[in-house]
A = this chain, B = another copy of it.
Amino acid sequence: MENFVLYNPVRILFGKGQTANIDGQLPKDARVLVTYGGGSILRNGVLNEVRTALGTRHVVLFGGIEPNPHYETLIKALPVIEREGINFLLAVGGGSVIDGTKFIAAAACFPGEDKWDLIRHREEHPVQAALPLGTVLTISATGSEMNSAAVVSKAETQEKFGLHSDLLFPQFSVVDPAHTLSLPMRQVANGVVDAFVHVVEQYLTFPVGAMVQDEFAEGLLRTLVDIGPRIMADPSDVDLRANLAMAAMLALNGLIGCGVPSDWATHRIGHEITALFGLDHALTLAIVLPHLLRDQQVYKRGKLVQCGERVFGITAGSPEERANAAIARIEQFLQQMMGAIRLRDYGITLDDASEIWRRFEVRNWHQGERGNIDGKAVQRILTAAL
């Protein structure tokens, strides 16, 4: 096991009706910017719950944060914050709204002229201050409600990058599984796959003898493989949603990644697909992951065999056969949740995709737990994913 620091001060208020309890979580005189996305919270009652809980506090709404939140949209919140004297941000939505709000929180306190520097030049411009924020989650997927990371896209340059800082932890997050019942099923499936791949990125690397982290990762994978199809078959089962909410939150709150190598190459390639072609984040992960695992099978074999046995019950065959069988089961699960998961299914040609490996080469990127996912590897992976 590698050395690590584990720190996560987010207060999770989990369960039915918890939105009412945010009243005790922010100052009575807070001036609150409520951020949201396409407006479903205006229709499904969640905004009303939030407004009631905030009572007489000064509340300003800032909607229209799109999936894969755009820098260009988010910076429009800054003059509102200044004009209204906002001192608390409350993100009501899924990972995109929460990620976007984290960026707003940092940008509002960033003295530099170009706020994109916080993302694109994050090493030179680490977050030094941020507005406090809370969240009311409406989609279980990214785990952003319980971590300090945010991913933001810039439409102008077709870029998608992340930042993280201890200053960007939400002070609290309401996770009420009932809030997710009105979601379109495509978004629910996206959430299951997003959480699944978050676990895989921190688990299917190479063994370092971290028994507890492995047990927890495998427990999350088994849970997601079990409940994903059941939720699709019975969208009204709130108990299944509660388990999904737990799994997605714990998939990326820092715990299972403690002291173990992590990969994140599937995410890096997926971010490029989204930035260039606008595909849903989870869909890009489902497209990339099986082929990345096949490409790296020899390096990841130890963990693939372990995953096969403990998650999918695969115990027969040589290590190579078992590793391949595990990848096949993962691919089958992703297909089951997402439907079509090849680039060509979405009208993307190999020529289109070549921009991605070109970017890897231009930026001299070497991703993955072994640093061996370079432009050439991406070319192999996306060719297989065509």
Contact = CB atoms under 8 A, between A and B. Distances in A.
Interface in A1-38: 1-18
A316 interface: no
B239 A209 contact: yes
Contacts of A213: 246
Contacts of A212: 219-220, 223, 243, 246-247, 250
Contacts of A258: 14, 246
A133 to B, nearest CB: 16
A216 interface: yes
Contacts of A226: 211
Nearest to A6: B12
A194 interface: no
A202 to B, nearest CB: 15
A340 interface: no
A227 interface: yes
Interface in A244-297: 246-247, 250, 255, 258-259
A12 B1 contact: no
A210 interface: yes
A197 interface: no
Contacts of A218: 215, 219
Contacts of A4: 12, 14-15
Interface string A205-243: 000011111011011101100110000000000010011
A168 to B, nearest CB: 15
B227 A219 contact: no
Contact of A259 (B11, B14, B247): B14
B209 A215 contact: no
A5 B9 contact: no
A211 B181 CA distance: 19
A14 B6 CA distance: 8
Contacts of A243: 1, 209-212
A142 to B, nearest CB: 17
Contact of A12 (B5, B16, B219): B5
Contacts of A222: 215
A169 to B, nearest CB: 9
A220 B227 contact: no
Contacts of A10: 7
Contacts of A11: 5-7
User: Which of A1, A16, A18, A259 has the most chain B CB atoms closer than 10 A to its own CB?
Assistant: A1
Interface string A136-158: 00000000000000000000000
A255 B250 CA distance: 10
Contact of A16 (B3, B16, B18): B3
Given A5-B11, A209-B239, A212-B250, 19 more contacts: A1-B239, A1-B243, A1-B246, A2-B15, A3-B18, A4-B15, A5-B14, A14-B258, A14-B259, A212-B220, A212-B246, A212-B247, A215-B215, A215-B218, A215-B222, A215-B223, A216-B219, A242-B259, A246-B258
14 contacts: A3-B17, A5-B12, A7-B10, A7-B12, A14-B259, A210-B243, A210-B246, A211-B227, A212-B243, A212-B250, A213-B246, A215-B220, A218-B219, A246-B258
